[in-house]
Amino acid sequence: MRLLRWTCVVLLSCSAFSCGLAHAAQAPQLIPVSGDVQYTHDPSIIKDGDTWYLFSTNNGPERNGEVPIRCSPNLKTWKRCGYVFSGVPEWIKKASPQTKELWAPDLSYFNGKFHLYYAFSVFGKNTSGIALATNKTLNPKSPDYRWIDHGLVLQSRLEDDFNAIDPNLVFDEQGHAWLSFGSFWSGIKMRRIDPKTGILSMEDTKLYSLAARKRPPNPPRNPPGLPGDWQAIEAPFIVHHDNYFYLFVSFDLCCRGTKSNYKTMVARSRNVTGPYVDESGTPMPEGGGTPLIVGNQRWIGPGGESLLLQKEGDIIVYHAYDGKSGEPWLQISSIAWVNGWPKAAIAGAQPEN
């Protein structure tokens, strides 16, 4: 379960990899990756047995299915090991005929199953939906390996002021499940989930607001189809660390190659539903957010992030665009927790003093 935090055990000796992550308590370290890491977009990572699995948006020329899966025995070398769906499910084709691909998968494990929340939409519109698929195992060689699509969890319509994409599931300290989501419009939202069914809770039907963007004095013109107000915030991801819930989001724009200007931001709260404030004390609903990962000339627009809290050391996975080709690539960094705030690394950046 990616939301589970293991107790670290100090060993007299360790591998170069595990020792490197141990040192991340003082400074974050980029984990070099190789293999099938190009065209990785909106990555979500989880571990099953001795293998790490990475799910992502299918962003690339090879389209043999939807929600590609990559596998690694060590977090460094990756290879494709299948797809969740052979194509866009028929029920989505009927409900949203313009949908061409599935977006932003999110993986978690509870009640004996892996839960995959995924989104469907049309670029620049909020006629979107979040759906759920489950599997007993992520090992494709297991006889229990089978993805079951449970259909729609929640949706947004033209008249709504939010966009139901970019799902992320988190549990609070009482064991309640929560699904955060959102892109542009009025920002990041949250709904309570029934952990027994994986769908919306009937006990708490409130739509919570977690974060939004202030409109700058002279905002740049939005790309065609995007909402008029400049509210470029999306891709929420929440983890519980020590006594806080940390909300990670992506500011600004993805998916524009070398013109992408995504950046990963973070804020924290004592409660899962907020209020989330940044390091300076500015609330996220008022445009707050502490920069975590910012692009450079080599790697542009880092975002679409996912975290894994694990005994080997906490990590963040995200995509960044090649500064020359504009194509998205996978990046992985250890997380250093410094004075209660996370720190992460990006390739090509100058090390901090």
Q: What is the pLDDT of residue 4?
A: 41
Looking at the domain assignment, is residue 8 inside a domain? Answer: no
The pLDDT assigned to 300 comes to 97
Residue 349 domain-assigned (yes or no): no
Cα separations in angstroms, 7 against 212, 309, 311, 312: 34, 10, 6, 10
Q: What confidence score (pLDDT) does residue 25 get?
A: 58
Q: What is the mean pLDDT of each run of 10 residues along the chain (353 residues)?
A: 36 43 71 97 96 94 93 97 97 95 97 97 92 97 97 95 96 97 94 96 96 68 50 94 97 94 97 97 92 96 97 96 96 97 87 43
Task: Identify the pLDDT of residue 124.
Answer: 83
Residue 350 in domain: no
State the pLDDT at residue 209.
96
176 falls within a domain: yes
* Catalytic annotation present for 314: no
| Cross-strand bridge partners of residue 132 | 117, 151
| pTM value > 0.85 | yes
- The total number of structural domains in the chain stands at 1
Side-chain half-sphere exposure of 331, counting CA atoms within 13 A: 30
pLDDT of residue 331: 98
pLDDT (0 to 100) of residue 138: 98
pLDDT of residue 123: 85
42 catalytic residue (yes or no) = yes
Q: What does 314-326 look like in DSSP terms, one character per residue?
A: -EEEEEEEETTT-
Q: Output the six-digit token pair for 70.
A: 């990559």
- Burial string for 280-293 (b: 16+ CB within 10 Å, else e) reads eebbbbebbbbebb
- Domain range for residue 255? 16-343
Instruction: For residue 2, tell me if it sits in a domain.
Output: no
- CATH at 337: 2.115.10.20
Kindly name the residue from 234, 305, 312, 314 that is annotated as catalytic. Answer: 234
Which pair of structure tokens corresponds to residue 340? 């209660």
11 within domain boundaries: no
The confidence score (pLDDT) of residue 201 equals 96
Buried b (16+ CB within 10 A) or exposed e, 322-332: ebeeebbbbbb
The answer to the question of residue 54 being in a domain is yes
Is residue 351 a contact partner of residue 62, using CB atoms and an 8 Å limit?
no
Is there a domain that residue 7 lies in? no
